[in-house]
Amino acid sequence: MLKLNINDEISPLKAVVLGTAKSCGPVPKPEEAYDPKSLEHILAGTYPTEKDMMEEMEAFAAVFKKYGVNVFRPEVLENCNQIFSRDIAFVIEDKLIVANILPDREREVEAILHVLDKIEDKNILHPPEEVHVEGGDVMPWNDYIFVGTYTGEDYADQITARTNKHAVEYLRAQFPHKKVKSFELRKSKNAKENALHLDCCFQPLGQGKAILHKNGFLVEEEYLWLVDFFGKENIFEITSDEMYRMFSNVFSISPNVVVSERNFDRLNNWLRDEGFVVEEIPYAEISKQEGLLRCSTLPLIRE
C-alpha cells in the first residue's frame, strides 16, 4: 500500500504519477480546445506532435529516475490526452482528492485505477458534484492550502474557470486545521492574459523563494499578500510573455532541485544564482497546450 504524504511543494519526492503522451489522439478541432493557448496552436498549424511530446515526457521521466523517485504512469487510453495528471487528482497530507473535472476527461481517472488500488479507500475523497476543482489550482504549503479560484458571475461561461468557491469551502471542511487561502485568478480568452490555474502565475520554491506574475491575480491585495508572505527580495516576478510560456510551472524534486524548461534562460540563471540545482529538459512542445512540468505530475509521497 502507498502511504500518501504531501504537505508542501518542495520536500524530497518519493513517488509520483507522471502523465503520458502515448496515443494522445489527433489534433483537436478548434471547437474542442479546452484553453486559448491550445486554440492558438490548432489554428496556426503548430499544435505539438505525439512523437515530440513523448520525447519530452521521457526526458522528465529520466530526471525522476536519476533522483530515485518511484514513478507511476497512467494506463494508455487510445486517442486520449493523458499528459496533465495534475488535473485529475491531487494529494494533501494522506488524502487523495479525485477532481471533478471537465466531463470529457473522466476516463483519465480510470487510467490510474492501478495506483488508486494501492491507497486505502478511506484516504480517497470524492467531492460532491457542485465542487469544481483541479490540482493546478491547489497548493499545500505547510500550514496553508493555497487555492486559485474564480467566483465571477460568468463562471459557467468561462471554460478557463476550473475551481469554484464550493471547492474552497470543501477544502476548509476537509482540512479544518489548515488555513485555506484563496486567490481570484484572471480568466481571459487571450492566452497572454489568462491564468488557467494558480500554478500558471505562482509557484513556491525551496529556500523561501517563489515565482509570481502580478497580472495573473484579479485582486491586487491578494497578490500583495503573497509578496509580503515570501518577501519581495525572494520573489522572481515574471512578465506576461513569461507567464504565457509557463515560467511558473516548474517542478521541485527537493528543496534545492528544480526541473525547468531548457529555454527559460532568465529564470534558470536566477535559480542557479540562488543556489538551486536546475535540471533543464525540453518541454516547449507540451507547453503549447497551456500546461508544463507541474501540470504533468501528481505527487503522491514526499518525505
pLDDT digits (tens, 9 = 90+) for 62-74: 999 999 999 999 9
Q: Quote the strand ranges of the chain, DSSP E.
A: 13-18, 70-72, 89-92, 95-98, 124-125, 138-141, 144-149, 179-184, 202-204, 210-212, 235-237, 251-254, 257-261, 277-281, 297-302
Question: Which residue, chain included where needed, has cell 506532435?
Answer: 49
Q: Quote the CA–CA distance of 118 and 104 in Å, as a whole number.
A: 26
Q: What integer is the mean pLDDT of 150-167?
A: 72
> Above 80 in pLDDT, residue 194?
no
Q: What integer is the mean pLDDT of 144-169?
A: 79
User: Domain 13-302: which CATH class?
Assistant: alpha beta
Spans of all domains in the chain? 13-302
pTM over 0.85: yes
What per-residue confidence (pLDDT) applies to 14? 98
Query: Across the chain, what does the average pLDDT equal?
Result: 92
In percent, the amount of the chain with pLDDT more than 90 equals 76
pLDDT band at 156 (very low <50, low <70, confident <90, very high): low
Which grid cell is 177?
486545521
Question: Phi first, then psi: what are they for 139, rounded to 5°?
Answer: -130, 105
Which grid cell is 93?
497530507
Q: Quote the CA–CA distance of 146 and 94 in Å, as a whole number.
A: 17
What per-residue confidence (pLDDT) applies to 51? 95
Interval 225-253: pLDDT, tens: 999 999 999 999 999 999 989 999 999 99
